[in-house]
């Protein structure tokens, strides 16, 4: 199928969306090719051909040129707080670039059925503005995607960030001009932004892992990726639907799709551990408690391991208590819901025997919930320790496999061979499908940065520098790439924590750093290669003290064929990490070279 065929096959709408998209894609191809992004184009072309592309109609515009102090990339949670903090500091020469059609980042793209946050809404929200916290009211314990998107748009409007942003614009390249001491950022719309500082707020899970099954182009039904869900929604009523994958996105969407579809097939390669969210309307008493103790609770989160107060970690070893007491402790955490179970005992992430007690508890729950013992067995993880692939939080996931219209297909034993014109073929047989949902995740942590041609000193390519895995100092900066900050970059706690706590900590650190430079009439900060090497060694050393490297997870890049197997996030905890970052700053930004003359 060619792109033209695909476009012609789509029904015409009042505005000619298909023609606009085709024109936009052709123009974008031309520009990206001119910028030397052949590889990226293959990726995009692949998705544009085979998936229902959620791009909204694109407004054509002339290329723009900007000369600013700050350019930052991304209009999600990280980009918005960066922008808001700059506004608060009275800084006006800012340019934000965002590939989506609006603010929201993750919550702009991930609109699949059941998409909601799995950290309690009050904790998964900004703490930097008291007025914002006073004004905003969450309706559910775990906010759903539309509410999160409204929140982010409220923040954008409240801090007047719309005027600084270019939407529907993808950054193609960013190069450091050593003579000028500035970054030149180029976009797929032909824009050029010259900036003193470049802040990458590109997200850890923003580049989708693309499906590459043979025969995808022949499929006559509809195909979707959970990470690029059509904005108008999808109605699966009366359909035979196949969901490939059983990670967080699948686990949230499967119960919802099952309730709508005529027949749902879940193609599972590796089962995941999932715990109940116990979602519902937000508890008024909890809201009052949060309001009365907010400053203290926020501080507690900042000093904790995962940045989540609700986890309430204990100092107790799982092996120091009798089996019955241990079960009761797990049981009360299961009733509490969400990630609370992760804090039940201090040693489940490091001691295999302690970990096995958590694994067995959840396996018992799966056996209790799922009526068919063979299905329960297939849903029970066995190949990796509990919690070493990201724990999922669900609403009725295991219960869904008691439905008559849901079939679990174990593709670890009979792998997916191909997508056919009428469905999907495994080694065991053919499944007739009207729609396929690829819930196969993301090129995590490095994907979004590597998708941009980033060049530092001497034209050094970040992608080449990271060919053996990401190298950063504190997950914040990269040697050879002056004045380029990576918010929640690899080597920082990021995805192992409440992202909001980690984002705000990085933005605070960057803001303090910029003030320090400004006060001293300095204009350039750069990580030293020695500090970077030391930090990377520390990140690896701490990861190796845990059970995390024992799972083939996306934390290690194991989900992307050919990606270097390196444990990317910092597992030491947000509290410890914050202290390390603060100590570096207190010692005059130890491990960084500071230079230049004024901004
Ligand atoms: O992606 P995943 P996700 N054939 O990588 C399977 C965050 N998030 O989008 O495990 C067959 O976790 C793959 O199988 P395997 C959260 O951090 C948060 O669900 O590789 N199967 C796996 O089952 C989360 O961890 C929220 O064997 C294939 C699945 O696809 C992260 O995003 C909600 C396959 C991918 O799972 C990613 O979650 C959603 C193949 N070729 C996401 N390739 C909330 O806040 C892959 N798979 C609630």
Tens of pLDDT along 405-449?
999 999 998 999 999 999 999 999 999 999 999 999 999 999 999
DSSP H/E element including 253: helix 248-260
Under a CB-based contact definition with an 8 Å cutoff, are residues 232 and 113 in contact? no
Same domain, 547 and 455: yes
Intra-chain end-to-end CA distance of the chain, in Å: 52
The verdict on the CB of residue 269 being under 6 Å from ligand 1 is yes
Alpha helices in 110-247 (DSSP H): 130-135, 145-158
CA nearest to 71, candidates 60, 82, 62: 82
On whether the CB atoms of residues 244 and 238 are closer than 8 A, the answer is no
* Cβ of 436 below 6 Å from ligand 1: no
Ligand 1 near 471 CB (within 6 A): no
Pairing relationship of beta strands 406-410 and 165-166 according to DSSP bridges: unpaired
Interatomic CA distance for residues 580 and 577, integer angstroms:
5
- Give me 381's structure tokens: 């993880």
Residue 588 belongs to a domain: yes
Which atom number of ligand 1 is nearest to the Cα of residue 110?
A: 39
What atom of ligand 1 comes closest to residue 440's alpha carbon? Answer: 30
Q: Which of 118, 245, 250, 439 should be mutated for ligand 1, with most atoms under 8 A from CB? A: 245
- Look at ligand 1, atom 11, and give the residue with the nearest C-alpha: 269
Ligand 1 atom index nearest CA of 495 = 17
Q: What pLDDT was estimated at residue 232? A: 85
Pocket test for ligand 1, best of 115, 205, 440, 557 (most atoms within 8 A of CB): 440
Give, for all 599 residues of the chain, the pLDDT tens digit: 222 333 333 333 344 545 555 554 555 455 444 444 333 333 333 333 344 444 444 567 789 999 999 999 999 999 999 999 888 888 889 999 999 989 999 999 999 999 999 999 999 999 999 999 999 999 999 999 999 999 999 999 999 998 889 999 999 999 999 999 999 999 999 999 999 999 999 999 999 999 999 999 999 999 999 999 988 899 999 999 999 999 999 999 999 999 999 999 999 999 999 999 999 999 999 999 999 999 999 999 999 999 999 999 999 999 999 999 999 999 999 999 999 999 999 999 999 999 999 999 999 999 999 999 999 999 999 999 999 999 999 999 999 999 999 999 999 989 999 999 999 999 999 999 999 999 999 999 999 999 999 999 999 999 999 999 999 999 999 999 999 999 999 999 999 999 999 999 999 999 999 999 999 999 999 999 999 999 999 999 999 999 999 999 999 999 999 999 999 999 999 999 999 999 999 999 999 999 987 65
Q: Angle, to 10 degrees, between the axis of helix 294-303 and the axis of helix 284-292?
A: 80
Task: Please state, in angstroms and rounded to a whole number, the distance separating the CA atoms of residues 508 and 303.
Answer: 15
Q: Do residues 166 and 101 touch, judged by C-beta distance below 8 A?
A: no
Distance CA 374, CA 41 (A): 44
SS (H, E, C) 318-334: CCCCCHHHHHHHHHHHH
In a mutational test of the pocket of ligand 1, which residue from 117, 204, 247 has the highest number of ligand atoms less than 8 Å from its CB? 247
Would you say residue 151 lies in a domain? no
Residues 432 and 450 in one domain: no
Which residue among 273, 387, 559, 563 is best mutated to probe the pocket of ligand 1, counting the most ligand atoms within 8 A of its Cβ?
Answer: 559
Q: What spacing in Å lies between the alpha carbon of 62 and ligand 1's midpoint?
A: 38
In-domain check, residue 135:
no
- The enclosing H or E element of 42 equals helix 38-50
Which residues have a Cβ under 8 Å from the Cβ of 420 and sit 6 or more positions away? 215, 218, 219, 430
Token representation of residue 470: 């990401």
Please tell me the distance from the alpha carbon of residue 125 to that of residue 297, in angstroms, as a whole number.
13
Answer for the pair 436, 244: CB distance below 8 angstroms, yes or no.
Answer: yes
Give kind and range of the element (H or E) at residue 435. Answer: strand 435-438
Query: Is 205 touching ligand 1 by the criterion CB < 6 Å?
Result: yes
Residues 195 and 231 in one domain: no
> Does any domain span residue 282?
no
* 569 and 427 fall within a common domain: no
204 C-beta closer than 6 A to ligand 1: no
Domain final residue pick, 403, 423, 441: 441
Under 8 Å between Cβ of 520 and 514: no
Ligand 1 pocket, 441 CB below 6 A? yes
Q: Are residues 475 and 586 in the same domain?
A: yes
User: What pLDDT is stored for residue 361 in this prediction?
Assistant: 98
Whether residue 125 is contained in a domain is answered as no
- Considering only CA atoms, which of 396, 302, 306 is closest in space to residue 349? 306
Asked if the structure places residue 149 within a domain, the reply is no
Please tell me the distance between residue 324's alpha carbon and the centre of ligand 1 in angstroms.
34
Rounded to the nearest angstrom, the distance between the alpha carbon of 382 and the centre of ligand 1 is 17
Say if residue 202 is in the same domain as residue 218.
no
Rounded distance between C-alpha atoms, residue 104 and residue 507, angstroms: 17
List the beta bridge partners of residue 67.
194
In the three-class reduction of DSSP (H, G, I as helix; E, B as strand; rest coil), residue 134 is classed as helix
CATH of the domain at 431: 3.50.50.60
Centre of ligand 1 to C-alpha 436, Å, is 15
Q: Whose CA is nearest to atom 35 of ligand 1?
A: 440
Taken in order 203, 206, 207, 208, is the CA torsion positive or negative?
Answer: positive
Q: Which atom of ligand 1 is nearest to the CA of 251?
A: 19
Neighbours of 313 (CB within 10 A): 16
Number of domains in the chain: 2
Give me the sheet containing 429-432, strands edge to edge. 416-420, 423-426, 429-432
274 CB near ligand 1 (under 6 Å): no
Report the separation in Å between the CA atom of 152 and the middle of ligand 1, taken as the mean of its atom positions: 24
Are residues 214 and 198 part of one domain? no
Q: What is the pLDDT of residue 163?
A: 87
Query: In ligand 1, which atom is closest to the CA atom of 213?
Result: 41
User: Do 199 and 217 reside in the same domain of the chain?
Assistant: no
Q: What is the pLDDT of residues 174-212, one digit of tens each?
A: 999 999 999 999 999 999 999 999 999 999 999 999 999
Cβ–ligand 1 contact at 409 (below 6 Å): no
- Give the ligand 1 atom nearest the CA of 389: 25
Q: Of 425, 441, 457, which marks where a domain is finished?
A: 441
3-state secondary structure at position 185: strand
CB of 111 shorter than 6 A to ligand 1: no
Indicate whether residue 76 lines ligand 1 (CB < 6 A). no
Could you tell me if the CB of 271 is within 6 A of ligand 1? no
Distance 440 CA to ligand 1 centre (A): 5
Whether residue 259 lies inside any domain: the answer is yes
Does residue 184 share a domain with residue 86? yes
* The pLDDT value given to residue 192: 97
| 170, 254: one domain | no
Query: Which of 415, 441, 467 delimits the end of a domain?
Result: 441
Could you report the per-residue pLDDT of 479-517, keeping only the tens digit for each? 999 999 999 999 999 999 999 999 999 999 999 999 999
Two tokens at 390?
A: 């990201």
Atom of ligand 1 at shortest range from CA of 558 = 20
**Eight-state DSSP code of residue 523:** -
The encoded tokens of residue 539 equal 């990140």
Alpha carbon distances (Å) from 203 to 78, 467, 502, 543:
8, 20, 12, 22
State if residue 440 touches ligand 1 by the CB under 6 angstroms criterion.
Answer: yes
Q: Which phi and psi (to 5°) does residue 420 adopt? A: -110, 175
Nearest CA, atom 28, ligand 1: 245
Residue 454 shares a structural domain with residue 581 = yes
Q: Identify the pLDDT of residue 3.
A: 29
Q: Where in the sequence is the domain holding 241, given as residue range(s)? A: 208-272+389-441
Is residue 557 lining ligand 1, measured as CB closer than 6 Å?
no
Residues 199 and 221 in one domain: no
Query: Is 315 inside a domain boundary?
Result: no
28/187 Cα distance (integer angstroms)? 10
Q: How far apart are CA 360 and CA 356, in angstroms?
A: 6
Q: Which of 296, 357, 279 is nearest to 325 (CA)?
A: 357
């Amino acid at each position: 199928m060619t792109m033209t065929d695909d476009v012609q096959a789509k029904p015409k709408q009042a505005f000619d969306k298909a023609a606009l998209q085709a024109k936009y894609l052709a123009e974008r191809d031309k520009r990206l090719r001119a910028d030397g992004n052949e590889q990226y184009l293959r990726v995009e072309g692949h998705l544009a051909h085979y998936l229902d592309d959620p791009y909204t109609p694109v407004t054509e515009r002339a290329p723009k040129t900007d000369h600013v102090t700050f350019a930052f990339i991304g209009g999600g949670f990280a980009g918005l707080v960066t922008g808001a903090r700059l506004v608060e500091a009275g800084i006006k020469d800012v340019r934000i670039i965002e590939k989506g059609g609006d603010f929201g980042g993750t919550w702009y793209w991930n609109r699949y059925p059941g998409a909601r946050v799995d950290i309690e809404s009050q904790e998964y929200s900004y703490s930097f503005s008291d007025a914002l916290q006073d004004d905003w009211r969450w309706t559910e314990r775990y906010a759903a995607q539309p509410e999160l998107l409204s929140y982010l748009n409220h923040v954008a409007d409240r801090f007047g960030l719309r005027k600084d942003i270019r939407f529907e614009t993808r950054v193609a390249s960013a190069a450091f001009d050593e003579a000028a001491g500035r970054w030149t950022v180029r976009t797929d719309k032909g824009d050029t932004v010259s900036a003193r500082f470049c802040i990458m707020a590109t997200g850890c899970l923003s580049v989708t892992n693309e499906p590459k099954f043979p025969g995808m182009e022949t499929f006559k039904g509809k195909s979707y990726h959970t990470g690029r869900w059509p904005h108008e929604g999808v109605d699966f009523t009366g359909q035979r639907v196949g969901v490939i994958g059983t990670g967080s996105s699948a686990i949230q969407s499967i119960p919802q799709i099952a309730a709508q579809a005529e027949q749902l097939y879940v193609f599972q390669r590796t089962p995941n551990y999932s715990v109940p969210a116990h979602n519902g309307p937000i508890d008024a008493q909890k809201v009052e408690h949060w309001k009365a103790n907010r400053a203290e609770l926020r501080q507690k989160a900042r000093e904790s391991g995962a940045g989540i107060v609700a986890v309430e970690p204990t100092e107790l070893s799982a092996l120091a208590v009798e089996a019955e007491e241990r079960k009761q402790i797990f049981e009360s955490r299961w009733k509490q819901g969400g990630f609370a179970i992760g804090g039940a005992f201090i040693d489940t992430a490091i001691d295999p025997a302690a970990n096995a007690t958590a694994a067995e508890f959840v396996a018992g729950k799966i056996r209790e919930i799922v009526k068919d013992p063979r299905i329960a067995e297939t849903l029970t993880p066995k190949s990796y320790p509990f919690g070493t692939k990201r724990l999922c939080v669900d609403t009725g996931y295991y219960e869904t496999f008691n439905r008559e219209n849901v079939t679990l297909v174990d593709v670890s034993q009979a792998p997916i061979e191909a997508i056919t014109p009428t469905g999907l073929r495994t080694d065991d047989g053919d499944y007739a499908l009207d729609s396929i949902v690829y819930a196969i995740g993301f090129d995590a942590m490095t994907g979004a940065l590597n998708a941009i041609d980033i060049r530092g000193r001497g034209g050094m390519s970040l992608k080449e520098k990271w060919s053996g895995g990401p190298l950063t100092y504190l997950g914040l900066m990269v040697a050879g790439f002056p004045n380029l900050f990576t918010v929640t970059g690899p080597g920082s706690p990021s995805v192992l924590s409440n992202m909001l706590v980690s984002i705000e900590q990085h933005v605070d650190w960057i803001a303090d750093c910029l003030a320090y430079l400004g006060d001293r009439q300095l204009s350039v900060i750069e990580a030293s290669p020695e500090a970077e090497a030391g930090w990377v060694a520390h990140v690896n050393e701490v990861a190796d003290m845990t059970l995390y490297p024992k799972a083939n997870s996306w934390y290690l890049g194991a989900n992307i064929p050919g990606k270097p197997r390196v444990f990317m996030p910092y597992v030491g905890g947000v509290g410890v990490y914050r202290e390390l970052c603060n100590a570096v700053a207190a010692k005059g930004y130890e491990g960084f070279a500071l230079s230049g003359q004024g901004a």
